[in-house]
Amino acid sequence: MKFNLIQYLILLFVVAIFAFITTPIFRKIAVKFKLLDYPGGRKLQSSPVAYLGGLAIATPITLVSLLVLFSSISSELQQQFYLGLIIPALVIAFVGLLDDLYQLPPWPRFITQSVVGIFTSIMLYISGGGVKLFDNSLLNGVTTTLWVVTIINAINFMDNVDGLATSLSLVISISLFVLSYINGQYLVAALCIAIFAACIGFLFWNKRPASIYLGDAGALYLGFLLAATSIRIDVNSQSELIRVLVPVLIFAIPVIDITQVVITRIIKGKSPFEGGRDHLSHLLLNRGLSIGNVLAILTTLSTLLALCGVYLALGN
């Protein structure tokens, strides 16, 4: 089904308003049941902040996606998107929510991410999608899984400054929308707009000083959706280098952050899954920059690099 720009604008408006209205509701629920992130340790906030931001993001995206899926497309496409995107995203959000509430050890999260990544890879190749860098389908499947798991964690890692992960998700989702719309992948573009809109509505409450956090539920949910969506977008280029560079540039800041964090922690003999104040945002803060400046710098860099990625994709 083909959507026009007016329909995308309506979708954007509906989801943004939905997220804007539901976020304070989930915040009140979190406060009532004391589902809060308390200050201390590596936390930057000075007072407790509500969790459940993940539910505030996931609810409008899921409901609107289901409405679009089951009212406008074939049953085959419904199955692909339902099983390949919606269900895995909700599973990863649920595990993230458990982690927010009970502070799970790293391995349950990593195992769930790997299972979701493998399942997504299988669903993509059944439908003829996925990474196609190699002649070997197994290597392509492993690469797809690694990309999904990496981006899930990369977005989660960036959720360490008020509004940062949400702002970067805005940049990434609108970039993916442009590519998918121009390539005629209208359903993928609709999902990208839904993600973008939900982040807009949520950001009003998540910007500094944040009154609600994404938590692992929201960050893992967004990370999965953005990763799985990016793989579904066809970069029309004969150059394998450009096909690789486009998504890397769009996700550049989260990818750079997780790469340097993992390498640094391994060199120091620490677990890559152990929390710490060694992210890009922390390194900038340590140089005397304010949180507002750090947010502006990283979001601007992400925007510029994403524009380079979109330009590469459209210029070939």
Q: What is the DSSP string of 181-202?
A: HHTT-HHHHHHHHHHHHHHHHH
43 in a structural domain: no
In whole angstroms, what is the distance from residue 298 CA to residue 295 CA? 5
User: Quick one: which H or E segment has residue 56?
Assistant: helix 53-72
pLDDT tens track of the chain, all 316 residues? 678 889 999 999 999 999 999 999 999 999 999 888 887 656 666 678 998 999 999 999 999 888 877 666 666 677 778 888 999 999 999 999 999 989 888 888 899 999 999 998 888 877 777 777 888 888 988 999 999 999 999 999 999 999 999 999 999 999 999 999 999 998 899 999 999 999 999 999 999 889 999 999 999 999 999 999 999 898 876 777 888 999 999 999 999 999 999 999 999 988 887 778 899 999 999 999 999 999 999 999 999 999 999 999 987 6
Look at residue 43 in the predicted model and tell me its pLDDT. Answer: 62
Q: Compute, in degrees rounded to 10, the torsion defined by CA atoms 71, 76, 77, 82.
A: 80
Cα 101 from Cα 123, distance rounded (Å)? 31
Query: How many domains does the chain fold into?
Result: 1
DSSP state of 86: I
179 domain residue, yes or no: yes
pLDDT at residue 50, rounded to an integer: 92
What pLDDT score was predicted for residue 294? 97
Q: What is the pLDDT of residue 29?
A: 95
Q: Which helix (H) or strand (E) holds 15?
A: helix 5-32
What is the rounded distance in angstroms from the CA atom of residue 292 to the CA atom of residue 298? 10
> 286 lies in a domain?
no
- Residue 195: its pLDDT value, please? 97
Q: Which two tokens stand for residue 261?
A: 């964090």
- Residue 73's φ and ψ, nearest 5 degrees, are -135, 170
- Give the C-alpha separation, 299 to 284, whole Å: 13
304 within a domain of the structure (yes/no): no
Q: What is the pLDDT of residue 165?
A: 97
229 within some domain: yes
- Residue 130 has a pLDDT of 73
Residue 72 lies in a domain: yes
Q: Identify the CA nearest to 134 among candidates 126, 125, 143.
A: 143
Whose structure tokens read 């029309």?
236
Q: Are 302 and 168 in contact (CB under 8 A)?
A: yes
**Which of 283, 265, 263, 286 minimizes the C-alpha distance to 274?**
265
Q: Which residues touch 187 (CB under 8 Å, ≥6 apart)?
A: 1, 68, 73, 77, 81
Full residue range of the structural domain in which residue 210 is found: 5-37+48-236
In what helix (H) or strand (E) does residue 55 lie, and over which residues does it extend? helix 53-72
